Chains A and B, each alone.
Chain A
Amino acid sequence: MSSVSEILPLEVIDKTIGQEVTILLKDYREFFGTLVGFDDYVNVVIENAVEYLEDQEIKRFQGKMLLTGNNIAMLIPGGKPASN
C-alpha cells in the first residue's frame, strides 16, 4: 500500500528485547522487567520481574517469568510512565 517503510507492531516489541519493559494487563495488574522474548500470541518472557496490582508492588521475582499473552493490553518499552 504505502511506499513509506512501515514498522509492524511486533517489530516494536522485537526491538525492545533485552531492554526494560512495562506490561499492562486488562485489569489493574502490571509487570515490569527485562524483555527476554515473545511469541506470536504475544506470550512474553521477562526477567527479574516486579508485579504490581493497583499500583502497589506485590511481588519481586528473580529469574525468568512466562506471562500469558491472553490478558496483555499494552507493552511500554522502557520504564513506567510518570503518573500525574
Chain B
Amino acid sequence: MESKATASGSFLENIIGKPVYVKLFSGILYQGKLESIDGFMNVTMSQVSEHYEAEENGTLHKYPSEVFLRGSQVLYISEK
C-alpha cells in the first residue's frame, strides 16, 4: 500500500516546474512548463504549444499566457 500511495503522489510533487507533455482524451497534446497540479489532475501550464497527437504533426497554437486544463479531460501527464 505504501508504494502505491507514493507512486502517483511523489510523481506529482516532483514534476512541478518541469517541462511536461499533457494529453487530453481528445488526442490534443500540450507541451509546456508545469506550473501547478492538484489531486483532480487539474493542471496549469505556461509557454504552451498545442499539437494533435504528437509534435511531428505540427503546432496548432501557441499560448503566451498561462493555460488551465481540467483534470477530467486529462489522459496523461509525462515528463519531457
Give chain A's interface residues, CB within 8 Å of chain B: 14, 17, 31, 36-40, 43, 45, 49, 53, 58-59, 61-68, 71
Contact = CB atoms under 8 A, between A and B. Distances in A.
A68 B75 contact: yes
A38 B5 CA distance: 8
Interface residues of B, number: 22
A45 B8 contact: yes
A43 B8 CA distance: 7
The 8 closest A-B pairs by CB, nearest first: A37-B7, A63-B79, A65-B78, A67-B76, A66-B77, A61-B78, A45-B7, A39-B8
Interface of B: 3-9, 11-12, 15, 21, 25, 41, 53-54, 74-80
A38 to B, nearest CB: 6
Q: Which applies to chain A's interface (DSSP): helix, strand, loop or mixed?
A: strand
B21 A61 contact: yes
Given A37-B6, A66-B41, A68-B41, 7 more contacts: A37-B3, A37-B4, A59-B53, A59-B54, A67-B75, A67-B76, A68-B75
